[in-house]
Amino acid sequence: MAVTKDQQKPAEAPKDGKPKPKKDAPTDPDAELSEEDLELKKNLELMVQRVADGDAGVQKAALTAICNEIQSSTSAMSAVPKPLKFLVPHVDALKAAFDAMPRAAPTRAALADVLSVLASTVAGKEGERLGLRYKLAGGLENLGQWGHEYLRHISGEVGEEFKVRQEAGEPVTDLMQLVDQIAPYHMSHNAEPEAVDLLLEVERLDMLEALCDDKNYGRTCLYLVSCCSYLPEPDDSAVLKVAHGIYTKMGKHHDALRVALRINDPEIIAATFAGCTDPLEKKQLAYLLARHGHTLDLEDGPAAVADDELRDALREIMSNSKLSEHFLALARDLDVMEPKVPEDVYKSHLIEGRQPQGPAVDSARQNLASTLVNAFVNAGFGTDKLVMPSSEGSGGENVHWIFKNKDHGKTAATASLGLISLWDVEGGLPAIDKYLYSTDQFVVAGALMAIGIVNCCVQNENDPAFALICDYVTNSDPGVRAGAVLGLGLAYAGTRREEVAELLVPLVLDTDVSMEISGFAALALGLVFASSCKEDLVEAILTALMSRGEAELSGPFAKYLVLGLGLLFLGKQETVEATAEIAKTLSERISRYCGVVLESLAYAGSGNVLKVQELLAICGEHGHDEEEDTKKDQGSGAAAAGGAAAPAAAAAAGAAGGAAAAAAAAGGGAAAAAASSSGGGSGEWRGAHQFPAVLGLALIAMGEPLGARMAQRMLEHLLQYGEPTCRRAVPLAIALLSPSDPDPSLLDTLSRLSHDADTEVAQNAVVALGIVGAGTNNARLAGMLRQLSSYYYKEPTLLYLVRTAQGLVHMGKGLMGLSPYHTERQLLSGVALAGLLAVVFSCEDAKATVAGKYPHLFFALAAAMKPRMLLTLDEEGALLPAQVRVGQAVDVVAQAGRPKTITGFQTHTTPVLMNAGERAELATEEYVPLTPLLEGVVVLRKNPDFMDVAE
């Protein structure tokens, strides 16, 4: 390289004439030390020289002095203690002295301890684990004297060493001696998360229960329950069982029951309930079970209650029969009792530009949309201005609203009576009963479904639903049968009633019954027996899938058989494996679809990363048509290599954001997308399994916030590179990740998709907007939907779905939500998720279901609809207004001290409306809540120690 003239110039002398000191000139490190530190440094250097001395007495005195200096030193959290800092340069000298010592030397153990402590401040080679190696050569007792930071370092090395030894099959007794000291030290020094991590790594979680006391159990269990989502099987259920054991030992029955419900084992739930002896606490537990949708036998079995009066009170709470009364108390308090009409939701006067009018408007569709909107907005209020008897003949018209609809519109209008009277069995049934005697079969079908909806999540002691519906299950009219079957499914959702199975199983098995009825019967069984893994039902549905022809299995209603089967294994994880193997033997038209649905539902809410990866691989496949099949026979190897190229390129583009990789993916995927869209008919079913795979991503990841955010990014990639089937499922997957929680970024994505060129993507995006904003009255979302109603004014189907979404956003006048998660998002209600999935899976082929002959399938959401309230009761069960602070929940897991659990709070008097992500706490100490988490119905007990300052 040539040197320029500028580079040859000599360095200029400084202006003041003094030469500048060179930056690299060595400075004396001791110059900055204080006298005290200098003396300490010299002392330690002298001690190190003495350790190398051959005299054992001198060595012992020197090592004792070094140990005392290290143990007595104090420093800031971020700084290395000074004795260790000064000893680091002499580590090699001390190692040499250690190696030169005979094994029997009395001072060898003390020197090993010092070296072990020094190793925690010196970065060693990977896998060397010097700290642990020297510790094992030294004394294994009295670890706590070296301080918390050293123990943290040793804990990490113990975990690594344990793993290596386990793989090699070597003994770990000496490591366990260290664990027996480290874990109690951490537990007694506010480092519970570190103790849990160590015990998890060395597979000794069973030690934890004995180490917990009333000071540390809260932080320990909070950490155990929180890390459950990030652990593989079977560790995830093991940590929950340990947390359950600790809560039970400490007498925290509400916490124990919450964990038992998460474990999802009926025996543990019953035993936990039976373990509580306080009648008032038992009532609080009953409210939790009622919210979760879990029924207990109080007559006999482990949860039996001897006291008749208490048993009746508990049964009343668990049956949810007070739910309507409590919901209306909230509504009265917020002054929203006045019924609303659909126009109050549409707000047509605010829409600028085009209005739906003239011949383009399908009046039957418009009336159907108004029916659904009216039902959702007035849900649970027991009165409205459209279909209830009080409105008959109003305005001089004699035609009742139900009869202003056509065919399936009549069914939906009659069924909407059930949603308006939701949870109020006594008040709702008289209004519905008369329609059972109508000569119009569509009205009868709607009335049967209405009976089911009224009884949804509520058990009445007279059990009217079964008595009224059972005779219609064998009716000759298919519409009436469908209404009866769906009515039974909703009325007994989550109750596991044997009589329902006896009625519906023959419909599933009978090949002479239409596929629609058979599919709805399977769906109803899935709702009633969710998470039960009931063998005879699994067998019946698999038999039905085996005995149906290919044409029937390719239709939209075969998917309900598969969904019903999946719901039986909801959240049951590895229990599904045997059934998933059998599913592989089914007809190729349904086998992959069935396998994906089973896996997705079984791992719903688990956050299982391995399952997410499997589903992503399925989503990344690119479709074949018949030509590709023939090529496959000629050279399957080449086809397989080509099929993997496009998703791989897409993944590269997603991860690296490289323009070249994106272009490669687009090139690879474009041909496949074209083939998929043109090769309809017989080839369509080949990619059908990708639809539930995309939904499965959301189902598995919905359990914890980190996984949900990652799933959202994956879904964005699928929108860019996925097959049309994948793209159609993406909006619904987004809805499952965030029901009743309208996050602005999600709304923007869905708003973009609602204008998509693919009509099915747009339809699903509109439904997803409704689910994401359900019951929130979100003004921004309401504005978006108004604009969409103007945009789609010439498309009846999309306009009808936009209207339905508007109804969902204003559901229950903003007092209800669809989220299947409750109790601060710790528990996933299987019944609520089943109701949500029934609607989401129906949208896979909306033309045949919710936008076709079965608009009343939207009412399956009744299983997921719950008030978003905090209501406080006194010991007698009467409403008790109490001061509460409501604010944004703060994650306090593994945080030091006692951090605040809410931020930005406001003080309200109960009953209070709770939004997603909010948490409440009592503002005064006048009452003691019988549950640590204030949500839903909370029983308050008078605090005997409270003294009013004013008095």
Mean pLDDT in residue range 799-824:
91
Q: Is the pLDDT of residue 396 over 90?
A: no
Residue with tokens 């149906």: 548
Residue 913: phi and psi, rounded to 5, are -90, 130
Mean pLDDT in residue range 442-447:
90
∠ CA 271-274-280, rounded to 5° = 140
Q: Which of 86-95, 497-506, 789-798 has the lowest mean pLDDT?
A: 86-95
Looking at residue 802, its pLDDT comes to 92
Q: Is the pLDDT of residue 631 over 60?
A: no
Residue 53 DSSP one-character state = S
Q: What is the largest CA-CA distance in the chain?
A: 116
Residue pair 212/245 in contact by the 8 Å Cβ criterion: no
Kindly state the percentage of the chain with pLDDT values over 70.
83
Looking at residue 707, its pLDDT comes to 87
My answer on whether 709 and 846 are in the same domain is yes
Looking at residue 628, its pLDDT comes to 43
Q: Which of 112-126, 303-317, 509-523, 599-613 has the lowest mean pLDDT?
A: 112-126
Residue 916 pLDDT grade (very low, low, confident, very high; cuts 50, 70, 90): confident
My answer on whether 718 and 845 are in the same domain is yes
∠ CA 61-63-67, rounded to 5° = 120
My answer on whether 772 and 808 are in the same domain is yes
Q: Which CATH number goes with the domain that contains 486?
A: 1.25.10
In a domain, 782, yes or no: yes
Residue 871 DSSP one-character state = E
Looking at residue 951, its pLDDT comes to 55
Q: Is the pLDDT of residue 762 over 90?
A: yes
Residue pair 701/612 in contact by the 8 Å Cβ criterion: yes
What is the extent of the structural domain holding 888? 869-942
Query: How high is the mean pLDDT of the chain?
Result: 81
- This prediction's pTM: 0.84
My answer on whether 924 and 817 are in the same domain is no
In a domain, 751, yes or no: yes
Looking at residue 398, its pLDDT comes to 58
Looking at residue 28, its pLDDT comes to 57
Domain boundary among 847, 865, 883: 865
My answer on whether 455 and 488 are in the same domain is yes
My answer on whether 854 and 886 are in the same domain is no
More confident residue, 902 or 27: 902
Looking at residue 390, its pLDDT comes to 54
Residue 642 pLDDT grade (very low, low, confident, very high; cuts 50, 70, 90): very low
My answer on whether 790 and 851 are in the same domain is yes
In a domain, 254, yes or no: no
Q: Is the pLDDT of residue 774 over 60?
A: yes
My answer on whether 878 and 847 are in the same domain is no
Looking at residue 30, its pLDDT comes to 62
Looking at residue 256, its pLDDT comes to 92
Q: Which of 41-45, 289-293, 890-894 has the highest mean pLDDT?
A: 289-293
Q: What is the total residue count of the chain? A: 951
My answer on whether 371 and 465 are in the same domain is yes
My answer on whether 861 and 886 are in the same domain is no
Looking at residue 453, its pLDDT comes to 92
Looking at residue 3, its pLDDT comes to 47
In a domain, 726, yes or no: yes
Q: Which of 244-248, 425-429, 725-729, 750-754 has the lowest mean pLDDT?
A: 425-429
Domain boundary among 449, 475, 492: 492
More confident residue, 631 or 163: 163
Mean pLDDT in residue range 895-911:
84
Domain boundary among 457, 492, 527: 492
In a domain, 331, yes or no: yes
Residue pair 159/202 in contact by the 8 Å Cβ criterion: yes
Residue with tokens 């494996």: 577
Looking at residue 764, its pLDDT comes to 94
Collapsing DSSP states into helix, strand and coil, what is residue 909?
strand
Residue pair 700/605 in contact by the 8 Å Cβ criterion: yes
- Residue 837's Cβ-count burial label (10 Å; 0-12, 13-18, 19+) is buried
Residue 862 pLDDT grade (very low, low, confident, very high; cuts 50, 70, 90): very high
Kindly state the percentage of the chain with pLDDT values over 90.
22
Collapsing DSSP states into helix, strand and coil, what is residue 763?
helix
| Cross-strand bridge partners of residue 908 | 884
In a domain, 587, yes or no: no
The tally of domains found in the chain comes to 3
Among left, alpha and beta (phi > 0; psi -120 to 50; other), residue 494 is: left
- Helices within 434-557 (DSSP H only): 441-454, 464-469, 478-491, 498-509, 515-528, 535-547, 550-554
Q: Encode 807-861 in three state secondary structure.
A: HHHCHHHHCEECCCEECCCCEECHHHHHHHHHHHHHHHHCCCHHHHHCHHHHHHH
pLDDT in tens, 160-217: 888 888 888 888 888 888 888 888 888 888 888 888 888 888 888 888 888 888 888 8
In a domain, 12, yes or no: no
My answer on whether 811 and 877 are in the same domain is no
| Cross-strand bridge partners of residue 938 | 872
Q: Is the pLDDT of residue 656 over 50?
A: no
My answer on whether 342 and 481 are in the same domain is yes
In a domain, 615, yes or no: yes
Q: Which of 78-82, 512-516, 590-594, 754-758 has the lowest mean pLDDT?
A: 78-82
